[in-house]
Structure 1
Amino acid sequence: MFVDLRTYTMFPGRLNTFLDLYEREGLPIQKKHLGEPLGYFITETGTLNQVVHIWGYESAADRERRRQAMESDPDWIAYRRKSAEAGNVQHQTNKLLRSASFSPM
């Protein structure tokens, strides 16, 4: 399994605005192209105002194919523009993880 671990840090006070827009407009598009996320979380301790989401793929090539289709989708392009204009995200990190041979996933 190949895992895409994404962490978005919001400006203080902007977390719910981000989540509302994403759930209403972004998530349906991502599900269409990427399938269901493995998880979608909000930090409770440590660095606050963060959203962490995890997507699973069969391989790096599978991830590339699905994300390329999503990035070409006019609805996704419109959502990304609207999300950027809202100015919620302060910082983003992205980690691509490959399962160890003994991992249960």
Structure 2
Amino acid sequence: MIYDHRTYVCRPGTIGKHMKLYADHGWTIQRKHLGDPVVYGAVETGDVNSYVHIWRFEDAADRARKRAAMKDDPDWQAYLAKSAEAGYLVRQENKILTPAPFFKG
């Protein structure tokens, strides 16, 4: 099991607009390919212009397969184009996590 932990930072004052854009054009298609996230939430303390989502995969091959299928989906490409045009995002950080041996989540 691996977890794909992603943090995105929006320009100040645009996180609500970005979340609306994603809710309207990205959420359904991303879940179609990746399943339900473990976590998807806005940061409430610290950098409040950011949000985090964490996805669970069987292994790196499962992650690569699912993300490749999503990347090739025309609806996902349309969402990415809308997101790029809006220009709300300024930074992204991805981390792959492996669970501790005692964690069975």
Q: Normalising by structure 2, report the TM-score.
A: 0.96
User: In structure 2, what is the equivalent of residue 20 of structure 1?
Assistant: 20
Distance 1:45 1:99 in 2: 25
User: In structure 2, what is the equivalent of residue 56 of structure 1?
Assistant: 56
User: In structure 2, what is the equivalent of residue 29 of structure 1?
Assistant: 29
Distance 1:18 1:24 in 2: 10
- Post-superposition Cα deviations, 1:8-59, rounded to whole Å, max 9, x if no partner, equal 0000010011000101110100011000111111111111210100100111
User: In structure 2, what is the equivalent of residue 9 of structure 1?
Assistant: 9
Distance 2:46 2:78 in 1: 33
User: In structure 1, what is the equivalent of residue 81 of structure 2?
Assistant: 81
- Post-superposition Cα deviations, 1:61-96, rounded to whole Å, max 9, x if no partner, equal 100000000000011011101101100001110001
Distance 1:4 1:98 in 2: 9
Alignment RMSD: 0.7
User: In structure 1, what is the equivalent of residue 90 of structure 2?
Assistant: 90
CA drift at 1:104: 2.8
The residue type paired with residue 44 of structure 1 is: E
Segments of 5+ residues of structure 1 without an aligned counterpart are none
Distance 2:39 2:23 in 1: 14
CA drift at 1:98: 1.1
Aligned partner of residue 53 in structure 1, secondary structure: strand
CA drift at 1:99: 1.2
The residue type paired with residue 99 of structure 1 is: P
Query: Which contiguous aligned blocks of 4+ residues in structure 1 show a shift greater than 4 angstroms?
Result: none
Segments of 5+ residues of structure 2 without an aligned counterpart are none
Residue correspondences, number: 105
